[in-house]
Amino acid sequence: MRPTHSDQDTIAAIATPLGEGGLAVLRLSGAQALAVADRVFRPRGRTSSLPSRAASHTVHYGHVMRDGEVLDEVLVTVFRAPRSFTREHTVEISCHGGVFLAREVLAAVLGAGARLAEPGEFTRRAFLNGRIDLAQAEAVVDLIHARTGLAASAAQEQLAGALSRQVQVIRQDLLTTLAHVEAHIDFPDEDIAPATHRQLTDRIDAAVGHMDRLLATAGDGRVLRRGVRAAILGRPNAGKSSLLNCLLGHDRAIVSPVPGTTRDTIEETANVRGIPVVFVDTAGLRDASDAIEVEGIRRSRAAAARAEILLHVIDASEPLAELDRQFLEEFANRPRVVVLNKADLGPGVCVPGTIGGAGPVVSVSCATGAGLDGVRQAIHDLVWSGKAGGEMNEVMINARHEDALRRGREAGDRAAGALRAGMSLELVALDLRVALQAVGEIVGATTTDDLLDVVFSEFCLGK
């Protein structure tokens, strides 16, 4: 949401999650942050002082007061502009946790002249004041939402400017080319020398190639941000729920020797070698007569349709059933891991060599835990197989960047085509400007309020 108030206001919010924590941190930012803090804070002890008299990056012990009463015992940290996240005067008040107390301290601060911050408004100010660019602002959200170490480190790279630097290289190539093209438009009598002409098209091609390499990271970015869905399928009693529990490391689904135990789908996320994987346990697939089971089976087929990866669980202690053959064929072209379960019951009737089709086949025992690492490895390999590696690995674009890059790439391609075809330089310049505009949106060099609203609406309060 767009701040309905001015960007000049001094804003405050609780920056820690509301709940029964040991501490809560309240953040205050704006031109009046020190004055507002002065009004609620009474320093205690010789080394503490009022925020307005404090040096930057110092911590002060004292009390938050309201109506002459001590509200809480706190530590106040002072950051003087421009040496803060927002580049404004910033005060952080660490008070005791608990929903009630933190809210009381916030109320005191609001009563002293600050207004409640909108979601993402601190980060929005950091962007507006040139502290970070838009891609870095988005990385703050990614970092907060990261569910695995790998996702967090990718977000950290983006926050540190890895994506922004690549985007700047692309923009620089486009800008230099545009400057050349415009110079020739201004002097229409001079023909572009063949060597210069080649240089210009080469440079646009380089920018387009660079955009392609960034676009290729979109899939990886989606994996790390949203995770992948893996549906666990198979006949009743094959051990699907047991596999889910083993992969999660705790008993989430009910396991029983009665076929048809799981009737609804169960979802839960686990960290598989750095990839957030949403495992979906489903009802066993068979020709059921009971109406609830029929509905359960319909849901498991739907879960399979929505999943990026299928884990087909087969009870290897029994001969391969007709239905398993059917599934093996039906899902042959999907990214799939065939899990031969119950390996502890002996060599098994059904062994890896007998399973036709592509894709990994792993023997496991959910009873003993043997082979589970093989399942994790197979999932990992399916997700990352054939993906761009090397330096690009740390840069993973999101859906907004992807959209901007597609538009930028198209326009860049048109510009190169027009230049090669000897079309009017005005047309070339026009497409270069469109490309620049699109690529600039990624870092916020070219923005609109609407765009900022979309980006910052993802944020929670206090960020």
Ligand X SMILES: Nc1nc2c(ncn2[C@@H]2O[C@H](COP(=O)(O)OP(=O)(O)OP(=O)(O)O)[C@@H](O)[C@H]2O)c(=O)[nH]1
User: Interface with ligand X by CB under 6 A: which residues?
Assistant: 234, 236-242, 255-257, 259-262, 283-284, 341-342, 344-345, 365-367
Q: Which is nearer to ligand X, 43 or 239 (CB)?
A: 239
User: Interface with Mg ion includes 261 (CB under 5 A)?
Assistant: yes
Beta-sheet pairing, 23-29 with 228-234: unpaired
**Strands of 266-272's sheet, edge to edge?**
266-272, 275-281, 228-234, 309-315, 336-341, 361-363
**Shortest separation between residue 243's beta carbon and Mg ion, angstroms:** 9
Query: What are the E-state strand segments in 215-326?
Result: 228-234, 266-272, 275-281, 309-315
Q: Which is nearer to ligand X, 86 or 300 (CB)?
A: 300
Q: Which is nearer to ligand X, 268 or 453 (CB)?
A: 268
Q: Which is nearer to Mg ion, 220 or 281 (CB)?
A: 281
**Shortest separation between residue 262's beta carbon and Mg ion, angstroms:** 3
Count of residues near Mg ion by CB under 5 A? 4
Pull the structure tokens for residue 253. 């689904």
Q: Which is nearer to ligand X, 84 or 365 (CB)?
A: 365
**Chosen from ligand X, Mg ion, none, partner binding at 347 (C-beta under 5 to 8 Å by type):** none
User: Interface with Mg ion includes 262 (CB under 5 A)?
Assistant: yes
**Chosen from ligand X, Mg ion, none, partner binding at 367 (C-beta under 5 to 8 Å by type):** ligand X
Alpha carbon separation from 262 to 115, 164, 417 (Å, rounded): 51, 47, 58
Q: Which is nearer to ligand X, 283 or 416 (CB)?
A: 283
Helix residue ranges per DSSP H, 187-237: 194-215, 218-226
**Chosen from Mg ion, ligand X, none, partner binding at 217 (C-beta under 5 to 8 Å by type):** none
Q: Which range, of 33-41, 121-129, 187-195, 232-240, touches Mg ion by CB under 5 A? A: 232-240
- Give long-range contacts, CB 8 A cutoff, 24+ apart: 48-57: 51/76, 51/78, 51/91, 54/78, 55/80, 56/80, 56/83, 57/83
The label of the residue with tokens 């609203």 reads 453
Pull the structure tokens for residue 245. 């529990």
Interatomic CA distance for residues 9 and 168, integer angstroms: 32
**Shortest separation between residue 365's beta carbon and ligand X, angstroms:** 4
Residue nearest to ligand X according to CB distances in the complex: 284
Interatomic CA distance for residues 115 and 129, integer angstroms: 19
Binding site for Mg ion (CB under 5 A): 240-241, 261-262
